[in-house]
Structures are given as structure tokens and as C-alpha cells.
Amino acid sequence: MVTVLLTALGRSRRGSVTTIAALALPVMIGIISLAAEYGNGLLVKAENQRTADLAAYAGALAYGSSSSTTAMTTAAQAVANLNGVASSAVSASLVTSPSGDGAQAVQVSIATQTPLLLAKAVGLTATQLSISSTAYAELKAGAAPCILALSSSGTGVTLSGGASVTASACAVASNNTVSVPCGTTLTTITVDYGSSSAPSQPCSGIKPPSGTSAVTLAHLTTADPLASNTGVTTATARLSTVSGLSAPASPTVTSGGDIAFGWSPTSTQAQAIADGCAAAFASASSTWTLTCSGASSYTFGSITVGGGISVNFATAGAASTTYNFSGSINNTGSSMTFGPGVYNIAKGVITGGGTTTTFAAGTYAIGQATSACNGGGRYSICNTGSSLTFGGPSTFVLAAGLYNAGGSKLTLGSGSTNSFQVGASSDGNAVYAGGGSNTVFADATGTSSVFQLIGNLNVSSGGGSCMTLSAASQHDIYGYFSTAGGTALGAGVYTVTGYVALGANGGGDVTCNGTSVGMAGTGVTFVIGGASTPSSGSCSGQAFCLAAGYSNVTLTAPTTGTTANLVVIGPTSTANTAGAAFAEGASNTSLSGAFYFPNGPVTLSGGSSVGSGSGQCLELIGSQVTLTGGTTAASTCVGAGSTGATVKLVQ
């Protein structure tokens, strides 16, 4: 009976299947649970990796623009937060790139925990699964250069004689060599070099700024960031316009009668009457008063003044009245005062020792004098007296320049709507100022105002002199600009076809109006053609030169307009290789803006130093850049295009 039952049971398939299924079910549940947990972990890891990639890239961009590891970490964490990852799970650091090319990289690691929901089904006690993801974003040598030597020949960027250069937030680039010998330091985030050999730094003088672990060295060629800059091309195009300017002609005046204001009343009064005016003499004050009324214009020959005599010339006249002089106005007396009006003076205004001469606001067309001024050339205005003052606003059309002797004061206009067209004297100068002189050009910002010097602005022998130049949208100088004294520049663009030199023949800072100044200007751009250069001294062959005792030069570029952030533009023609030099102790120079000499070398020597103004920038670009014993602080201003791919994910 038993045998029959066992045999029947053994033949039954239903029971065996049920038993196997019962034994396999827990195993299958465990496998499914583990697969689900693993799949969820892979999904979380993929999400973390994507977030790490984004965070590393953002961190690298932030560091590339600021050189701040704090900004780098903040940017990485902000991106992670946007993707649902807490800041506490994100770490960012600056490391050597795993690509092996020596560049820096931003490493971002994300470490999170994901719950194990089904693990207990197979008896596991762990409740969390740790998931880590890491990304590297390499900082390729793409920082914008703020010191750049463009030429693939020559000396590239060279430091010597204890020079110190700081470019903490930008690159130093050379399309040839970079040399940082012992005793010099170059602080920067990136050095780009075009030579076959790496930068020379035998004493490890290339240093990273604070907060940066290492300097990126990149073997690459840097394009000229300002080659197609609209501000540069527009500004330099004006050089041809200035080179085409012509000096104004002397006024043409029919002959009139000469008046000699002296001690003989009868002859003076008779000539005044002949010229249509009346003259009265006050012997007690030695003063002549000339009155002209009833006509719209009057014509005279020359006006002369005897020693000790004062003259009041048409001081009550109307601004619309025209006074024509076929000769000159020559004050060798005591003082002369002229009323308002239109003055056409064919043969110059001449003042002599100790005299004071004053003109009211008016229009002044003045021709060339027939005799030399103070032993020099023949000028339209020759001021060797104590002071010569023109009120304003006034318009000046001077055929042959103006001369202001040493110790004399010359004031041209007042207010803001003056205008200046000044030709060259017989010695080529539109403006000459001697040592200790004081010369003031009032502002020329009116809609019809111009500032044109068709000749040199020559103060090269004017040590101790003070000169104030107008604010004007355009200052056109067809010649050179050379000074040995102090200069206050009004805002605007200065287009100089020749060269600009401070201290080429000595001189230096001067106390003008209670302030020590070498040269100062805000909202200023120099555009230099380099058609001529100094032939001797420290400035020989230079298109821009700062030398001698100049330790107080501050030039700040405009912040708006076509030439925004451009402070000095040198010759851009490849045929002109005139450069720029800071020499002979020209220290504490502050240049804010791009200093651009694409075809000429930029040299600092003799203890000179250059930096940027507070909150400003200095960008030095030359065919070569050489710094000897100078201190330079630089940052990018304009044309800050990357030299390559700034950020690249590498792992």
C-alpha cells in the first residue's frame, strides 16, 4: 500500500514544481532588488556627473575672469544648487590638469548619498549608497593679454635690472621669447610664448598671484587684439586729415593811419580823428582813451604806445564793431585795454617788457609780424610783456602762431565755446612757450569750435612753464608736441602727426596753480603718427617719450565714445617702427587705458615706473616690451579677446 502511494507521488509533477518555485522565489526577489538599487545608483551617478561637468566648467570660467578661488567655488556650487545638489556635497579646487599639458584645471567633486529602499529584502543592513562623481575643466591659455609683445623677432617680453611686473588677472604674452632673469619678478596667471623655447626664469621669477597655485605656460601665438578695433582705426584715420590742414591766411586790410599814443596829445588826437575816432589824454594818469562810435567798422595802420603810457581802446564799443589794422598792435608802454569786437590785425600783436595787455571777448584774425619775436621766428602773437589776456568766448585765427616768452602769461579766451586755428610761425612753431611762462587755452567745446595747430606745440625749452590746453572733441596738431614743463590737458582726442615728448631736453614737474603736475588729463586719447621723432637724447627715435624729472604724469582714457579705454595709440603703419620710452627716472606714471604700439618697442628704463590709476587699467602692447628697473601694474582694458579656448572639459 505504502509502495503504491510513493510511486504515485513520484509520478506527480505538480508537487515538484511548487517546491522549486517556493525555494527560488526569495532568490529572485533579491536579484530584482539589487538590480533595481544598482540601476537607481547608476542613474544618480549619471546625474551627478552631468552636474559636476557643468559646475567645473562654470568654476573655470569664474576663475579665468577673476583669478579668485572663492569666485570659482561659489560659481561651481551655484550651478550644483540649480541642479538639486546641496553646496555641502560639492568641492572645487584648482589642480594640475590630468591632460598632462601642464595647464591648470578646476576639479569639482560631488559626493551624495542615495537611500537603499529594497536592500532589506535580502537581509542587507546598509540604508545608504555613496555615489561620487568628479569632473575636470582645464584652463587653457586663453586669458586676455595685458602685456603683449607682438613681433615674432626681437626680444619679446624682457625684464632686467630688478624690474617687477604685476598682471594678476590677465596674461603676459609674447610672440617671441619671455625672459625673467634673477632679480626680476613677473606675477601673472598665464604666460603665452611663441618662441621654440619656454620662458627663461633661472630664479623662478614667474610667480602666480595670491590664491593661484601655479602659472600656466602656453606655447602659442597671440593675435593683435586691437588690429581691427573700430576706435583705433577711426582715430588713426584722422592723421591724414590733420596732415592735410593748411594754415589760415593773414587778413587783408587796406592801409590806414598809424596812431602813436605818446606824450604829444596834438598829433595823436589829429590821427585818431582822421581814422574816424576821438582820443582824449588824461595827463594825471598818463592814460589815453580812444572812442569810436557811429560806424560799423574802422581802419587803422599800426598802433604803438610810448613808455609809461596806458591806453583804453574802444572799451565801450559794441561786439559787432570791426577794427581793421593794416599794421601791428605794439605795446611797449604800460598797459592797453581793448573793447569787444572783430579785430583784423594784418601784422601781429606785439607786447614788450613789463606791459599788460587785455582784449575783451571777440574774433581775432591776426597775421604774421614783419620782425622776429625775441630773436626767433616771426609770429602772429609775440608776448614778451608781463601778461596778455583775451577774454572769451573768443575765436582765434592766427596765421603764424603765438609766442609766450619766459616769465610771461598768455590767456586765450574764457568759457567753453572758444575756437582756435593757429598756423606756423617762420620757425615752424604754432605755439612756443619759454621757461617759467604760463599759457592758457580756454575750452573749445562749442558746436562750431575747433582746436587746430598747424605747426609744432613747442615748449621743449620751457622748464618751469605751465600750459593749460582746451577741452575739445578733437585736438589737431600738425607737427610735434614737446614740453619741458607742466601741462594740464583738457579732455578729448589729441591727434599729433609727429611725436609726443616730455623732458626730451630736460625739465620736469611744475607747480601750476598750487598743484604739482608733469602732465595730467582725464578723458584723453593721444593718437601719434610718428612722422617725425627727436634726433638726440633719451627720446631719440621715439614717437612717445617720458623722461627727465617727470614723476607726476597721469593720463586717463575716455570711458565712453569711439576711443573709450584707449589712452595712447602709436604709429599703426608697418613702415613706421618708432616706439615709446619711459626713461631717466620718469616714475609714478599712471596710465589708464590701452597703450598701443603695434610696430614699435615699448621700453621702461632708468628707474621709471608705470601703473594704472585707482580702479583703472593699463594694457601695454608693443612690438617688443622691455622693462629695466621699472615697476608695472597691468590689466586688460580693451580688445580683451581670448588667445584660445579658455575652458575645456578634459575628464
Do 13 and 128 fall within a single domain? yes
Q: Provide the pLDDT for residue 170.
A: 87
How far is 523 from 356, CA to CA, in rounded Å?
Answer: 34
Do 135 and 150 fall within a single domain? no
Last residue of some domain: 108, 139, 170?
139
Residue 75 lies in a domain: yes
- The mean pLDDT value for 307-333 works out to 96
Residue 241 lies in a domain: no
- The mean pLDDT value for 507-513 works out to 89
How far is 55 from 76, CA to CA, in rounded Å?
Answer: 4
**Residue percentage of the chain with pLDDT more than 90:** 63
Q: Provide the pLDDT for residue 10.
A: 47
Q: ∠ CA 511-517-523 to the nearest 5 degrees?
A: 145
Do 369 and 499 fall within a single domain? yes
Report pTM.
0.79
Q: Which residue has the higher pLDDT, 466 or 54?
A: 466
Do 340 and 207 fall within a single domain? no
Last residue of some domain: 550, 574, 591?
591
Among candidate residues 538, 526, 620, 528, the one with its CA nearest the CA of residue 586 = 538
- The mean pLDDT value for 25-54 works out to 66
How far is 588 from 246, CA to CA, in rounded Å?
Answer: 39
How far is 388 from 376, CA to CA, in rounded Å?
Answer: 19
| pLDDT exceeds cutoff 80 at 331 | yes
- Which residues touch 284 (CB under 8 Å, ≥6 apart)? none
How far is 600 from 579, CA to CA, in rounded Å?
Answer: 4
Do 126 and 39 fall within a single domain? yes
Residue 275 lies in a domain: no
How far is 621 from 594, CA to CA, in rounded Å?
Answer: 8
Specify the amino acid at residue 473.
S
* Residue 649 confidence class, pLDDT cut points 50, 70, 90: confident
| pLDDT exceeds cutoff 60 at 141 | no
Do 92 and 167 fall within a single domain? no
Q: Is the peptide bond before 98 cis (omega within 30 degrees of 0)?
A: no
Among candidate residues 622, 527, 529, 534, the one with its CA nearest the CA of residue 576 = 529
Do 80 and 23 fall within a single domain? yes
* Residue 439 confidence class, pLDDT cut points 50, 70, 90: very high
Q: Provide the pLDDT for residue 6.
A: 42
| pLDDT exceeds cutoff 80 at 117 | no
**Chain position carrying cell 594740464:** 488
Q: What angle, rounded to 10 degrees, do the helices at 69-82 and 13-66 form?
A: 140
Q: Which residue has the higher pLDDT, 9 or 537?
A: 537
Q: ∠ CA 96-99-105 to the nearest 5 degrees?
A: 35
* Residue 466 confidence class, pLDDT cut points 50, 70, 90: very high
| pLDDT exceeds cutoff 80 at 120 | no
Do 134 and 148 fall within a single domain? no
Residue 55 lies in a domain: yes
Among candidate residues 619, 628, 609, the one with its CA nearest the CA of residue 143 = 619
Neighbour-count burial for 219-243, b at 16+ CB within 10 Å, e otherwise: eeebebbbeebebbeebbebbeebe
Q: What is the pLDDT of residues 78-93, one digit of tens each?
A: 988 988 889 998 899 9
| pLDDT exceeds cutoff 80 at 37 | no
Neighbour-count burial for 487-499, b at 16+ CB within 10 Å, e otherwise: bbbbbbbbbbbbb
Neighbour-count burial for 595-616, b at 16+ CB within 10 Å, e otherwise: bbbbbbbbbbbbbbbbbbbeeb
| pLDDT exceeds cutoff 90 at 618 | no
Residue 164 CB neighbour total at 10 angstroms: 18
How far is 501 from 538, CA to CA, in rounded Å?
Answer: 10
Burial status of residue 200 (CB atoms within 10 A of its CB: 0-12, 13-18, 19 or more): middle
Q: Provide the pLDDT for residue 131.
A: 82
Q: Provide the pLDDT for residue 159.
A: 94
Residue 520 lies in a domain: yes
Q: Provide the pLDDT for residue 51.
A: 87
How far the first Cα of the chain sits from its last, in Å, is 77
**CA torsion, points 148, 151, 152, 154, in degrees to nearest 10?**
-100
Last residue of some domain: 85, 118, 139?
139
Is 285 strand, coil or helix? coil
Is 565 strand, coil or helix? coil
- Which residues touch 228 (CB under 8 Å, ≥6 apart)? none
* Residue 340 confidence class, pLDDT cut points 50, 70, 90: very high
* Residue 22 confidence class, pLDDT cut points 50, 70, 90: low
Specify the amino acid at residue 488.
A
How far is 622 from 23, CA to CA, in rounded Å?
Answer: 85
* Residue 185 confidence class, pLDDT cut points 50, 70, 90: very high
State which residues form the domain around 186.
143-227+598-643
* Residue 1 confidence class, pLDDT cut points 50, 70, 90: very low
Q: Provide the pLDDT for residue 102.
A: 57
Q: Of 175-189, 313-327, 375-389, 594-608, where does mean pLDDT reach its minimum?
A: 594-608
Do 342 and 408 fall within a single domain? yes
Q: What is the pLDDT of residues 201-240, one digit of tens each?
A: 999 999 999 888 889 888 888 899 999 899 999 999 999 9
Q: Provide the pLDDT for residue 597.
A: 98
Q: Which residue has the higher pLDDT, 551 or 417?
A: 417
Q: Can you name the residues that pair with 452 across neighbouring β-strands?
A: 421, 476
| pLDDT exceeds cutoff 80 at 457 | yes
* Residue 291 confidence class, pLDDT cut points 50, 70, 90: very high
Give the three cell numbers for residue 244.
Answer: 592735410
Q: Of 417-426, 477-486, 621-630, where does mean pLDDT reach its minimum?
A: 621-630
Residue 165 lies in a domain: yes
Q: Of 279-293, 361-375, 430-444, 585-599, where does mean pLDDT reach its minimum?
A: 585-599
Q: How many independent structural domains does the chain possess?
A: 3
- Which residues touch 266 (CB under 8 Å, ≥6 apart)? none
Q: Provide the pLDDT for residue 133.
A: 86
Residue 246 lies in a domain: no
Ramachandran class of 435: left when φ > 0, alpha when ψ lies in -120 to 50, beta otherwise: beta
Average pLDDT, the chain: 88
Residue 262 lies in a domain: no
Do 39 and 158 fall within a single domain? no
Do 180 and 56 fall within a single domain? no
Q: Which residue has the higher pLDDT, 41 or 371?
A: 371
| pLDDT exceeds cutoff 60 at 640 | no
Q: Provide the pLDDT for residue 486.
A: 96
Percent of the chain as helix, strand, coil, to the nearest 5: 15, 40, 45
- The mean pLDDT value for 191-207 works out to 94
Do 47 and 166 fall within a single domain? no
